Amino acid sequence: MVNQFIGQLSLLIKSRQNLLLLETKEEFRAEYTLRNFVKQATNRTFFCWDFVTGFNHMPTNNKVAVKNPFQALDYIENLDPQLPALILLKDFQNFFDDLSIIRKIKLLERKLKGQPKTVIFLTSDQVSSVEIQSLLINVDFPLPTRSEIQLELHKVIDSLDVKVSPKIQEQLIQACLGLSLESIRLILSKILISKKTFNNQTIQLIYAEKIQILNQNQILQYWNNNANLFDVGGLEEIKEWLKVRENAFSDQAREYGLPNLRGILLVGLPGTGKSLAAKAISGEFNLPLLQLDVGKLFGGIVGESESRIREMIKIAETLAPCVIWIDEIDKAFSKTSGSSDSGTSSRVLSTFLTWLAEKQSSVFIIATANNIENFPKEMFRKGRFDKTFVIDLPTEEERKQIFNVLLKKKRPDTINSFNVENLAEKTKFFTGADIQQIIVDSMYKAFSESREFTETDLLDEINIFQLN
């Protein structure tokens, strides 16, 4: 992924794109990567500025433009026009709302036209200024690769002078994927202080810490998922489709020449088992499940939603192989939403669909929708999803399966006391969620009377449900 970043940066430099924006919280790692790139692959001079120390690492010009961003831009403007340079500017996110700074950047853009200079504004936060977004080309900085994590892990192991099996090392690397290098260092340090070694237990601790960190971004939520297809009653078409593809993410599948699965779209009424199916599919593939919160995807600041979808994609690809669950995607990407939000949803949809069609990583998308009447047609084009499943109300046979699955969980020893055929027959037009609620209500009633719930309780609740 770092190579992709370097490749993208090289292309932008060759095409004389003078002003770039790099959004990342990994300031040190980004600067280190850029310095190495300049040193190894270019004939350029590297300049670096921050608010406190000004321009540094220059024998003759140290401390230039200290605490003066306007002066820093002025210094760049007055550099030798023939001097090839890459200039990294930190801390400018704090000044992008200043009219004088915006005007100075516009003048700088005009001045640098045709010059062999690239100015990179490095920010840790989302840039809200529309004018700045139109002036700067956004470059995505990747999360740490497996090799970077491995190197960091070896440093820790060497410092401890402990032996860690190759299997545990591989599991540690897998557990750290999707985290920043700073977060990885913090987690490893905490483990070292408390455990003094790495084993299966410490891997679980890493996953626990990882869940907390991932959940902080409020876009992707990690699910501790133990569901499998045995937990799902009915949905035979989906089960058959999955059965053929159960080893789709294996090395053998890659060697066979099979392409990566893209994902599926589940369409149906609320309560028909779409969410449960999403969890079960993740469990069946034995892959981590991350839910995309569509509501939190759309931010109030202009440009923030686009940044969040890019962040989601970056995290997902780093965590690959994994499953991304997008619940009620129809509420976010309807035909009507783009006209009421200045085109934000349309741009986010375009970014998402482009990634869905072009992604090479093992990220499996499960999108669920209640209503697709207002869905954009682009969502259904070939190459987006592998298949669309329409989930209808369960048949009598499927309702029988649902009762069996749910009652077996609650009362495995006495399930034979329930006539599931009769229960299935009485619950025509019921969803899976309806059936689950009937069982729960029956249990509450019996519990309040200090007795075991029976089939009679279930039939009573079915009658009450039908009356309502």
CB 152 within 8 A of CB 184: yes
Residues 270 and 154 in one domain: no
The pLDDT, as a whole number, for residue 63 is 77
CB 329 within 8 A of CB 294: yes
Domain count for the chain, please give it.
4
Residues 245 and 324 in one domain: yes
Q: How many angstroms separate the CA atoms of 172 and 204, rounded?
A: 9
- Among 99, 118, 140, identify where a domain stops: 140
The pLDDT, as a whole number, for residue 146 is 82
Element (H, E) at 243: helix 236-244
Single out the residue of 413, 314, 407 nearest to residue 2, CA to CA. Answer: 314
In a domain, 221, yes or no: no
Q: What is the CATH number of the domain that holds 458?
A: 1.10.8.60
- Among 216, 247, 268, identify where a domain stops: 216
Residues 111 and 172 in one domain: no
Residues 428 and 355 in one domain: no
* Residue 333 CB-density burial (10 A; 0-12 exposed, 13-18 middle, 19+ buried): buried
Q: How many angstroms separate the CA atoms of 463 and 174, rounded?
A: 51
**Could you tell me which residues come within 8 angstroms of residue 272 by beta carbon, excluding any fewer than 6 positions away?**
391, 392, 393, 394, 431, 432, 433
Residues 236 and 369 in one domain: yes
Rounded mean pLDDT for each run of 10 residues along the chain, 468 residues in total: 86 94 91 93 93 78 84 94 95 92 95 95 83 88 85 81 81 82 82 75 77 71 75 83 88 87 90 86 85 74 72 80 87 62 76 86 90 78 87 90 92 92 93 93 95 94 89
The pLDDT, as a whole number, for residue 214 is 67
> What are phi and psi for residue 24, nearest 5 degrees?
-160, 150
Residues 450 and 349 in one domain: no
Range of the domain at 174: 146-216
In a domain, 224, yes or no: no
pTM: 0.69
